[in-house]
């Protein structure tokens, strides 16, 4: 056995405590696999007195997280405090500048500053590892960077946020509305007190931008991700999707082609026989399509103490073995800078839901807007009052389009903007015909 790999740990929340527990509980196995011991030597967190269920007496304590990067008895700094900037980014820069390998679970920081940090680590011949930043314990980063390295990846997509998937699959199973299920998810700890990053699609977009860079050899471009969350979904959308043979999932999708890099996080209708339709609860799943390996599906728990700690320690084992290369599978100088690919010419089907007044002429107005925008309607369902009610109480009207350019659907919705027939903003979901 060689000398121990000495680790400084910034953040002792659920995941940080899990890392300590995992290293202790699986110590013998980890040493055999790493070829040397892995030992935590120093830690930093907000509250020294908090009971975390672990013994920290043997670790050097620092109130100032940045001090971890300056210790002589540290080989690797692990960052688990979160945030795209602030203390996390400062620690990352200091650790690499100080000759320390760096491991993080921070998808926001990697999405915004990954190229900078990768370049610095590469220049210093240091590891920048972030397996835990995307899909928790699912080894999708390693799978794309190493296992599929010989393949040209045509597309990468998946369910990247467990909170949203829990909400959607609960709505699907129990027929309840979004707000009620969100409150329950918060009570159970599946959703944060402020769930905006999750339900508005930002968390999934951070992860998608990282996957896109790995899959296509492109520079990270989080700002180019088109993002729509699940706030506006109602139980009726889930029911209509089921009636049409689909499940609703928040899907992140990225493709690189001659027109640029396309990245979008959007609620989609997924065919009931597609693998993503069977991903339930808080699970994550990622699909990558390689030109030689074919379709790869990675599925599992995307968050939580055990899965995330497992990914962090797996990165530490790689570093202990000396197995690390460029953070994004190729040198930073080789990453392509592609323009954002426009969505307008993408062809596909779409689901459109309108909440409308139940009175004569409304249906004619909607179908005229579709006709004038060259949108062909495949099917249509109306739920609510009977057609002879003649009142203004809103009803739900859903339609599915035939395959066509996305710009035509956008044009149709623009034609209906401000219409007195609409009782709310229309809901658009693309259909995942992959």
Phi-psi region of 123 (alpha: psi -120 to 50; beta: other; left: phi over 0): alpha
Angle at the Cα of 384 from the Cα atoms of 170 and 401, rounded to 5 degrees:
75
What distance in Å separates the CA atoms of residue 328 and residue 330, rounded to the nearest whole number? 6
Give the pairing type, strands 60-62 and 76-79: unpaired
Question: Is-contact 3 287, C-beta < 8 A?
Answer: no
Active site residue 207: yes
Phi-psi region of 159 (alpha: psi -120 to 50; beta: other; left: phi over 0): beta
Residue 433 structure tokens: 């015909």
Task: Give the contacts of 235 (CB within 8 A, at least 6 positions apart).
Answer: 171, 175, 176, 177, 178
CA distances from 144 to 108, 196, 210, 254, 289 (A): 19, 29, 11, 14, 10
135-163 in b/e form (b: 16+ CB < 10 A) is bbbbbbbbbbbebbeebebebbbbbbbbb
What distance in Å separates the CA atoms of residue 258 and residue 154, rounded to the nearest whole number? 12
Task: Give the contacts of 119 (CB within 8 A, at least 6 positions apart).
Answer: 332
Catalytic residue among 100, 107, 207, 247: 207
- Bridge partners of 399, per DSSP, are 352, 380
DSSP state of 146: I
Question: Is-contact 124 243, C-beta < 8 A?
Answer: no
Secondary structure of residue 243 in the 3-state scheme:
helix
What distance in Å separates the CA atoms of residue 31 and residue 29, rounded to the nearest whole number? 5
Which positions are catalytic? 207
């Amino acid at each position: 056995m060689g000398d121990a790999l000495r680790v400084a740990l910034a953040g002792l929340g659920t995941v940080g405590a899990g890392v300590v527990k995992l290293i202790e509980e699986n110590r013998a196995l980890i040493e055999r696999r790493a070829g040397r011991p892995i030992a935590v030597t120093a830690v930093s967190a907000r509250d020294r007195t908090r009971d975390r269920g672990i013994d920290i007496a043997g670790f050097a304590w620092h109130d100032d997280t940045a001090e971890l990067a300056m210790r002589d008895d540290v080989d690797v700094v692990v960052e688990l405090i979160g945030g795209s900037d602030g203390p996390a980014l400062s620690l990352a820069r200091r650790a690499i500048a100080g000759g320390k390998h760096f491991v993080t679970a921070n998808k926001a920081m990697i999405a915004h500053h990954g190229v900078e940090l990768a370049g610095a680590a590469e220049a210093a011949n240091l590891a920048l590892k972030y397996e835990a930043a995307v899909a928790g314990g699912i080894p999708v980063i390693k799978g794309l960077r190493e296992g599929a390295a010989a393949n040209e990846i045509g597309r990468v997509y998946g369910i990247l946020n467990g909170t949203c998937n829990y909400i959607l699959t609960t709505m699907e199973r129990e027929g309840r509305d979004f707000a009620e299920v969100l409150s329950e998810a918060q009570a159970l700890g599946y959703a944060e007190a402020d769930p905006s990053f999750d339900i508005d699609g930002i968390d999934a977009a951070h992860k998608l931008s990282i996957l896109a860079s790995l899959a296509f050899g492109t520079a990270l471009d989080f700002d180019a991700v088109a993002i729509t969350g699940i706030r506006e979904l109602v139980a009726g959308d889930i029911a209509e999707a089921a009636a049409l043979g689909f499940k609703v999932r928040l899907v992140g999708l990225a493709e690189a082609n001659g027109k640029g890099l396309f990245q979008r996080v959007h609620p989609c209708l997924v065919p009931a026989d597609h693998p993503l339709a069977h991903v339930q609860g808080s699970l994550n799943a990622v699909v990558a399509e390689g030109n030689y390996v074919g379709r790869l599906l990675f599925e599992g728990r995307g968050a939580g103490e055990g899965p995330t700690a497992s990914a962090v320690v797996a990165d530490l084992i790689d570093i202990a073995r000396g197995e690390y290369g460029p953070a994004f599978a190729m040198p930073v100088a080789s990453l392509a800078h592609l323009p954002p690919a426009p969505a307008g010419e993408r062809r596909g089907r779409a689901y459109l839901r309108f909440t409308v007044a139940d009175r004569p002429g409304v249906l004619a107005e909607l179908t005229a807007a579709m006709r004038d925008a060259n949108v062909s309607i495949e099917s249509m369902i109306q739920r609510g009052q009977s057609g002879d009610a003649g009142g203004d109480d809103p009803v739900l009207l859903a339609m599915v389009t035939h395959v066509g350019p996305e710009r035509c659907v956008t044009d149709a919705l623009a034609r209906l903007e401000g219409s007195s027939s609409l009782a709310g903003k229309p809901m658009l979901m693309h259909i995942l015909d992959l």
